[in-house]
Structure 1
Amino acid sequence: MSSKLTVLVHGTGFAGQGHAQAFRDAGADIVGIVGRTPDVVEKVAKDMAIPYFGTDWQLALETCQPDIVSIATPGGAHVEPITQAIQFGCHVFCDKPLTASGDTSQALYELAEAKQVKTAFAASFRYMPQIMHAKALVASGRIGEPLEVECISHFNLDRHIPFGWSHTIENGGGRLNNNFTHLLSIVTSVIGDNILALQGEVRNDMPQAPVVNGVHNFTQRRNFIPKDINDPSLEWRDCDVEWSYTVLMKIESRLPAKQPVSVLFKHGGLVPRFNEDHIVFHGSKGSIYIKGHYGSGPLYLWDDNKEWQEIDLPDSIRSALPDIDDDTQRSWTHLATQLVKDLSGETVESYQGFKEGAEYQKIIDLIRQNDRWIELNSSH
């Protein structure tokens, strides 16, 4: 009999296939996959040589008896299958967002704690190599006392991408759920986990989207944009999520510091960038600048030399990560490996679970309330 841990995957799109590959790379056995559409789940299962496939999640749990479930559907569809899996005694690997609300996310965290199952929350770009490099540089004191962080990104998404889960709060859409979660995970990994205060505002720049059939893979949705956006026969649906956000935070530094670290998250989902998206960590003795919205690199250091100098990635970080070129897949695989090793009794670095997933979702709920403004009247 195989001693490998077994995994059942929920979701057949980009994330579902990516999670399956991540757990295979981590040394686990993918025993089944579940999706909504019979012909799609059958094709994915056959393409990936997964022995069991179906559309009934409860039946799949009973049939496959997995050690781990991997949840790779949109956030609005997470509550029921995760609840069933935890009740079944499975450990859970879940993509972000954990759910579509802070309350339901907290309930899942409490259930997992009560049932004593392990959880992994895949806001996993904290495992980008240059982010790990920045964490090591900050920890070693290269920039002194951390003071300020700046995360700036502009995605220039097409305003006519077809209506789908990403357009509604109920289904787990919005840029906070699908961009901010990664950035918050990145910043806390480098600076510290204790979030002290926040304020923020959001903006919906896409009040409606066209309805188009046939979109299955989220990453291919641009290919389905209608050729004639003014076609009077097109159906349109209302969107209720944010496409842009600005968030300010105070985070307690992991290193001794006189005051909290000030953090700015600025994201425009539908507007073009002029210069590079970037992440910057400023300290009392220097600064770290990383190109790319999720820190893809390269990384530059400003120190006593009073100029920006590109710093090579240390071999120790390169060798600690899977040898995978794709950033998303490498990050999923690294987190899946931590979970598999942990369940196998090995000592691993700490990784995020449902505790952080619930905390992030409650923060997103607060930001969306958008009630931090001080209104000025004409007398001021």
Structure 2
Amino acid sequence: MSVLKVLIAGTGFAAEGHVAAFRAAGAEVVGIVGRTPDVLAQVAARHGISWSGTDWLTALEVCQPDIVSIATPGGAHAVPIRQALDHGCHVFCEKPLAPDAPTARALWDQARKAQVKTAFAASFRYTPGVRHAARLVAEGAIGHPTEVECVSHFNLERGIPFGWSHRAEEGGGRLANNFTHTLGIVEAVLGGRVTSVCGDLRDDLKRAPIVSGVHNFATRRAHIPDNLDDPDLEWGASNVEWSYSVLGRLRSPLASDSVSVLFRHGGLIPRFNKDYIAFYGDRGAIHLGGHYGSGPLNLHDGTGWREIDTPRDIAEAAQGISGETEQCWHHLAGLFVSDILGAGADPYPTFADGYHAQNIIDTLRAGTAWTTLDLPEGLA
């Protein structure tokens, strides 16, 4: 089988993770594109990438990639994806797929017309704990699923410099960057789809300091100003949610009725108890520690809770890869490359999943599920 050629868009944390993931999958990274020449040169040199440039169309012509890997903020995805699809490339894209559902739907439609493969990197569904939970649920360990809880509190610093994560049109917000993962986890474990939602969203940040020099999302904390009360600081306005409470109904072939799903996330709120994801059924329950299910797995079999070790085959698949995020990128990139080469692969998230997630996000942000109550006299 031929070696697939990959072109990377972006030079931050995700881009460097994608480089390693595709190389581990046996592909060749032939080029990288970024907007800041000095940063681009440093990243290309660090990873031994022979071609680098700041113009995407030129990169497509020069590198002639089989796959493009989009590792930029969500607001910058649509144009390079469209151009890559026009070149007949397969596309691996970070979440969110687009800043709004109509754009995400258009990208999905274009990819289908181009008859290429797509992957949507809401990839935390591939943590060992989540994969273990999916196996147990499929084997009937909890009976028919009835409800799910996803609870997390991140206590993010309010002084994180203003950037794409603060603006909906640039792919920011906790729904686009947290909910996309937990939605994927729940749907993967239960083998189903969320079909209806309602929820409450809150922007309890309002603003963030504008600071120069921020490039890599993973190191943004290093740029938090020492004095947030400095009268000379400039501020940018947030227009996205930093906390959300979402209730969904999920349809699954494993369930006898619709499954109730609670997605609770506080981006700026300190946690007291540990984050977790729990799956409940009519015969038992599974509790996964951690906001993305990477902690210990405990099973309730009707008599009591007990911790269950990760099966050897699942644990070994993640060995030698440092970092939970990186492990998940490696797994998804491996499936994607295998599928493109015709070697077979388990189902993985595609642009259809990206559109599905963004459709839910747009619905929640529109707030259309709210019903105003007629309060009795004296309670208004």
TM-score by length of 1: 0.97
Task: Give the secondary-structure state (helix, strand or coil) at the position aligned to 2:213.
Answer: coil
Deviation at 1:321, TM superposition (A): 4.3
Deviation at 1:223, TM superposition (A): 1.1
Q: Is the 8 A contact 1:322 1:334 kept in 2?
A: no
1:65 counterpart letter in structure 2: Q
1:66-81 aligned within 5 A: 66-81=65-80
The answer to whether structure 1 residue 356 and structure 2 residue 358 are counterparts is no
Equivalent position of 2:222 in the other structure: 223
Equivalent position of 2:276 in the other structure: 278
1:78-117 aligned within 5 A: 78-117=77-116
Deviation at 1:196, TM superposition (A): 2.1
- Worse overlay, 216-225 or 144-153: 216-225
> Residues 277-333 of structure 1: CA distance to partner in whole angstroms, max 9, x if unpaired?
0000001111100110000110001113x2211100011222344631311001001
Deviation at 1:252, TM superposition (A): 1.1
Equivalent position of 1:303 in the other structure: 301
Q: Is the 8 A contact 1:192 1:251 kept in 2?
A: no
| Alpha-carbon distance in 2 for matches of 1:162, 1:194 | 36
Unaligned runs of at least 5 residues, structure 2: none
Equivalent position of 1:379 in the other structure: 376
Q: Is the 8 A contact 1:322 1:333 kept in 2?
A: no
Equivalent position of 2:340 in the other structure: 343
1:132-171 aligned within 5 A: 132-171=131-170
How many residues align? The count is 377
> Residues 245-269 of structure 1: CA distance to partner in whole angstroms, max 9, x if unpaired?
11111111231x3311110000000
Equivalent position of 2:41 in the other structure: 42
> Residues 57-80 of structure 1: CA distance to partner in whole angstroms, max 9, x if unpaired?
000000000000000000000000
Q: Is the 8 A contact 1:75 1:171 kept in 2?
A: yes
Match of 1:260 among 254, 258, 261: 258
| Alpha-carbon distance in 1 for matches of 2:133, 2:256 | 21
| Alpha-carbon distance in 1 for matches of 2:248, 2:273 | 24
Equivalent position of 1:330 in the other structure: 327
Deviation at 1:195, TM superposition (A): 2.2
The answer to whether structure 1 residue 122 and structure 2 residue 121 are counterparts is yes
Task: Give the secondary-structure state (helix, strand or coil) at the position aligned to 2:42.
Answer: helix
- Worse overlay, 142-151 or 192-201: 192-201
Deviation at 1:123, TM superposition (A): 0.2
1:358 counterpart letter in structure 2: Y
| Alpha-carbon distance in 2 for matches of 1:148, 1:235 | 45
TM-score by length of 2: 0.97
Deviation at 1:345, TM superposition (A): 1.2
Task: Give the secondary-structure state (helix, strand or coil) at the position aligned to 1:220.
Answer: helix
1:177-216 aligned within 5 A: 177-216=176-215
| Alpha-carbon distance in 1 for matches of 2:185, 2:193 | 13
Task: Give the secondary-structure state (helix, strand or coil) at the position aligned to 2:57.
Answer: helix
Task: Give the secondary-structure state (helix, strand or coil) at the position aligned to 1:170.
Answer: helix
> Residues 223-258 of structure 1: CA distance to partner in whole angstroms, max 9, x if unpaired?
111111111111011110000011111111231x33
| Alpha-carbon distance in 2 for matches of 1:252, 1:323 | 36
| Alpha-carbon distance in 2 for matches of 1:236, 1:156 | 20
Identity among equivalent positions (%) equals 55
